[in-house]
Structure formats: structure tokens, C-alpha cells
Amino acid sequence: MHQAPPRSSFVTILAWIFIALSGFGTVVGTMQVFVGFVMFDHVQFADAVRRLPPGMPPTIAFIFSNFR
């Protein structure tokens, strides 16, 4: 009877590493979305955007005024 050669555990370990990293990335991405909705929805942030310095480049002013 023919026996299959023993399998290497390298691919399995590498796969679990990438699975763990993608899970960690998912958690971090979810936290970033939550912080973005909580932090930039306040009235204080809107007031700070309205009080941008007069010498602010137009590109930066556009980014801050359309942050969400």
C-alpha cells in the first residue's frame, strides 16, 4: 500500500498567521469607523472647521470641511 509523504506544517502556520492578521485588521478598521462617527459628529468639530486660519491652503480647507 502506498503512503502519502508527511505534510509540512509551514503552510498551515502561515495561513493561521494571515487569518489572525486579517482579524486584527478587521477589529482596527471597525474601531476607526466608530471613532470617526463619534469624534467628527460633534458640534465642537464643526465650530473648529468654521474657524480655520485665513492662510489655510484651499485643498486643506476642502479636506477639513468635507471630512466625513
pLDDT (tens, 9 = 90+) of the chain, 68 residues, equals 778 888 889 999 999 999 999 999 999 999 998 888 887 777 777 777 778 778 888 888 788 777 76
Write down the pTM of the prediction: 0.56
C-alpha cell at 19: 487569518
Instruction: Give dist(CA 56, CA 36) in Å, integer.
Output: 23
Tell me the three state secondary structure of residue 17: helix
CA distance readout (Å), 42 to 8, 29, 46: 54, 21, 7
